Structure formats: C-alpha cells, structure tokens
Amino acid sequence: MSVPIVWFPRLRVDSASPQWALRLAESFWDRHEGYGHVVFGESVSPRAIRVPPDRSAAFMVPEPGFRHRRRDDSPKHIGWAGTVEWEVVDVTSAPGDPLENPLDCDRLVLHRRPDLPLGRLESMLSDLLTEVPISRIWLDLTSTGWDAATWLLSRFPQVQLEGVADHELWRLMQIAQWLNRPLWLQDAVHPNPREIPQFPRYLNHLEEGG
Amino acid sequence: MITAPLSGSNRGVPGPLPVLDVIRVVTTRDCFAGCDFCDFSRRRSRPETLTQPIPTRRDFLSLPRPDWLRISGGLNAMSQWDDILAMISSLSEQFSVPVQGLSAPEIDWASQVLGISLAQLLDRLKQAGLSVLGPGGADVLDDGLRTELAHWRIDSARWIEIHRIAHARKIPTAAGMMVADFLSLDLMDRHLSRLAPLAAGFHHLELKVLRPNNHPLSRLAPPGLLQILDAVRAIKDRFPDLPIFMRQGAFSPDAQVLLRSAGVDRLVRTLKVVEA
C-alpha cells in the first residue's frame, strides 16, 4: 500500500483564561470527532486545565508527564535554515536546550524561512532525510505555502503537512487522489487513524466508457 | 507522475518564467455555443454586434507595448466578419507585433456566415495579417467529453481539419489543451495523440487551466498543481520541441519555478482587454 497522506488538524490556543482555552480545545476536538491536535501556548499551564487522556495536546510550558512543544529559530546544527518546532513526550532537558538529534523527538515540524527558494528548500530537506532516518517529518504549511508543500509532499514519502485547516481539506484530498495515496485523519494520541473517503470524480462515467 | 527533483542543489534551479505581454481584443462575448467551461457562455448582456469603433493605435498609447495582439470572440449570428477582418488588417498595419487569435470554432462559423470555404477564409485572414491561428476550441479532443460539456462546439475532427487546412496554407497555429480537475492523464494523453499528426505546423501549445470563473463548471475545484505539472510533462514527452505557453493566472513564484522546471516556456500576461 502506498504511504498515506495524513490530515493532522491542529489548533494553537493561547488565552489568559485557561478555562476558555480548554473550551476552545474541546470545541475543536468535538468538531473532529475526538481527533485533532491542540497546542496550548505559554499562558496555559498543563496543571491549570484537565485535558482528557484520549485527547491530543501539547504544551509550550514544560511539565513532566505532559507532551511538550519547543521551538528553535536557529537550528543550523541539524542542517535546517529556518525555525523548527518539536515535541517530546517526556520532558528531560531544560526548556532552552536546542534539538540535538531529530530522532529523539516525537514530532519534528520544519518551518520555511521566507527568503528560502524552493530548490534550496528541497535540497535541504533531501539532505536532512538522508542523514536522519526519520520516518515522518512535518512541514508547517503556513510558512511553506501550498505550492511548495504540494511538491515536497509528492517528492518525499516521509513528508506530511501540519496546519491544514478544515476548509483546505479538499486540497489535501485532491493531492491524495492524484498521487493515488490514501488520506488519513490522525493526531498524536489515537492509535488508529481514520481513513477519509475520496469524493467521486466528476465525469467518471466518460473515463469508464473509454 | 513527476518524480525528478528540481535539482541537486540551488544551482540550476530555474527562476520565474519569462512573460509574453499581450493585449486581448475581444470581438464579442455573446456566444451561442454555451460551453460549460467558458465564461462567454454566461455573458448575455452585451448587444450582439460590434458596436464600438475598431481600436486604433491611439487606444493603446497609454499601455506598455505588447509582444503580441490576441483576438478572440464568441459565436453569434450578428458578428460582422467583414469588420473583424478589417480590424485585423488595421491592427496588423499599426502594430509591428504578431497578431494571434481566432479559434477553430470561430473559423468554422465565419466561413458559414460569409459563405466561403475554409481555405478562402484562411487566405483572407493571412492576407489581413493573422500570424498565428488558435488555440481556442481545442480543450480536449474527445467527442464524448465535448458532447457532454460543449454540445454546440465543433467536434474534434472539424477542429483538426481546420488546423490542417491552415498548415497547408502556411499559417502556423497554436495547439491547446485544457487541464481541469475532472480530466485524467489518460484523457489528456488521448488528446495529445490526436494532435500529434499536426505537430509540425504548431507554433506553440497553450495549456489552459480551468479555474473557477463565470461559467457553469465554476463550482468545481481548480486542478491541482501536481495535475498541471503532469500535464506539462505529458506534453513535453510527446512534443519535446513544442513551446508551451500558459496564461499567467495566479501562479505563485514557487509554482512558476515548478512549471518552468517541468517544461513550460512562457507565461502569457494580458496587459489589457479591449472590447471591440
């Protein structure tokens, strides 16, 4: 079976009111039938809210026992010219420590620097994937842009997109259909992804008739 | 599917596409053909005749100089074809740039309105200064699809016949192909195989991306970038030396790099649309 394309709904929540932040998160999970990944910002401490264990969430505030998301704006030591974010399930290093080894993290999200040409982006990604045998790497859609992200998704089976909004799901479906790859709804906690069925193609009857 | 990298490094990666600046002259937007993918099919408000004077160089003085002039229009009973021929002649004399335009369906219709043969009409157009005929009306040369979406448009055999006659009269023509969300690579490949016997007479091929516009199929999604790139690759595989033009549309700098890498030669940018 060809490598699935993953729709990983993500919501960033940063609110001075932890309870309001949780309300937003719950609404987001409800809209995706319990799936979806929520990233709580610096103002939300893991201890201030109670996230159900079957919900996918990460916190920018480190706390043992909680999934922690970090950011490094200058990760040149791993061969990337742009911001990286990564998530660790267990907090063992200090919050300011750089990412030493991409294999040590649970999810690695690469951001594109605004002035980075597509050719350079592709070769950097190729080098990174050659040097680090990582099975899945995430590209931040907002900074990468749809056209570059589409191309890189087709080029590298390890690449997935983070930040595809609900109203842009059709674009991911279109890419999956053209590449003949299944489309999965997935997050960081559910062991079983959900397959998203494809739309029937308009004028299929003409194709079948030859 | 395209799998080749853009390049091994930043060196050699193509930049943005060169642009061909054109001024479009639209003879009429009223069209009885009513093709589902054409925005002329819903323009019924303008009077069905040429009501404006023929554009002259003065009308274009405030604009940058175009590389080409392009003439197109819909099919309707009131078109004054003698005036259109005169306009082509006038524009050709005033601008020392190639005049491209008129589609095979327009040629078919004009020959009936004027009561002359296709060959006679094409000779008159050549004499008036038409440099390149087409590419309109090619879309996809599959009669099942044409019957479904463009019932009143000429069939594929007629489109091919008109271009063959033009080639025989030493008029280069532009081939065309539509890329739409609902078109498979197989269908596009069948289209290209029908164009193949005419390839020597084509000046270029214009790839038309069906985007949401003011036409009956506007509810469909636009084709994806990968589909467009594969369409370009399919054209280049079959016609390696035939330049590929695309309308500028809304391609991002990334998309332009990818299109150029796949084989697109030029983007056609419309400086101005002049309604004749």
Average pLDDT over residues A40-58: 95
* Residue B232 · residue B204 · CB < 8 Å: no
The per-residue pLDDT of chain A, averaged, comes to 91
* A207 contacts in chain B (CB < 8 Å): 184, 186-187
Q: What confidence score (pLDDT) does residue B53 get?
A: 63
Give A107-119 pLDDT, tens digit per residue.
Answer: 999 999 999 999 9
Q: Are B55 and B272 in contact (CB under 8 A)?
A: no
Confidence of residue A205 (pLDDT cuts 50, 70, 90): low
Are the C-beta atoms of residues A169 and A7 closer than 8 Å to each other? Answer: yes
A178 → chain B, closest CA residue:
B227
pLDDT > 70: percent of chain A: 93
Show the low-confidence residues of chain B (pLDDT under 50): 8-11, 47-48
Evaluated on CA atoms B148, B40, B88, B91, the torsion sign reads negative
Mean pLDDT, residues A16-27: 95
B166 and B127 Cβ atoms separated by less than 8 Å:
no
Mean pLDDT, residues A9-20 taken together:
94
Residue A86 backbone zone (phi > 0: left; psi -120 to 50: alpha; other: beta): beta
Which of A120, A122, A129, A178 to mutate: most B Cβ within 10 Å? A178
Flag if B220 and A202 touch (Cβ within 8 Å): yes
Taking the C-alpha atoms of residue B243 and residue B221, their distance in angstroms, rounded to an integer, is: 27
Asked if residue A210 has pLDDT above 70, the reply is: no
A49 min Cα distance to partner chain B (Å): 41
Q: Nearest 5°: phi and psi at A179?
A: -85, 0
What confidence score (pLDDT) does residue A90 get?
77
Could you give phi then psi for residue B29, rounded to 5 degrees? Answer: -100, 0
What does the pLDDT read at residue B80?
81
Q: Do residue B221 and residue A174 have CB atoms under 8 angstroms apart?
A: yes
Say whether B145 and A203 touch across the interface (CB within 8 A). yes
Q: Which of A145, A200, A205, A101 is nearest to B144 (CA)?
A: A205
Work out whether strand A137-140 and strand A107-110 pair parallel, antiparallel, or are unpaired: parallel
Q: Are residues B226 and A126, on separate chains, in Cβ contact within 8 Å?
A: no
Write out chain B residues lying below 8 Å of A139, CB-based.
Answer: none
Burial A85-104 (b: 16+ CB within 10 A, else e): bbbbeebeeeeeeebeebee
C-alpha separations of B72 from A70, A172, B149 in Å: 57, 36, 20
Which residue from A170, A179, A202 is facing B182, i.e. has the nearest CB?
Answer: A202
In chain A, residues with a C-beta closer than 8 Å to the C-beta of B145 are 203, 206
The answer to whether the Cβ–Cβ distance between A175 and B258 falls below 8 Å is no
The pLDDT score that the predictor gives to residue B72 is 87
**Least confident residue range of A75-89, A124-138, B15-29, B208-222:** B208-222
Looking up tokens 């009308």 gives: B59
Q: Are the Cβ atoms of A201 and B5 closer than 8 angstroms?
A: no
Mean pLDDT of A146-169: 97
Q: Which residues of A lie inside 8 Å of B (Cβ-Cβ)?
A: 117-120, 122-123, 126, 145-148, 150-151, 154-155, 170-171, 174-175, 178-179, 201-203, 206-207, 209
Closest chain B CA to residue A123: B9
Residue A10 neighbours by CB distance under 10 Å: 22
* pLDDT value of position A19: 94
Closest to B81 measured CA to CA, from B53, B109, B101: B109
Report the pLDDT value the prediction gives residue B212, as an integer from 0 to 100.
Answer: 77
Note the pLDDT of residue B9.
40
Contact B10 A147 (CB under 8 A): no
HSE-CB at B216 with a 13 A cutoff on CA atoms is 10
Q: What is the ipTM of this complex?
A: 0.90
Structure tokens at A51: 């996230």
Mean pLDDT over A81-85 rounds to 92
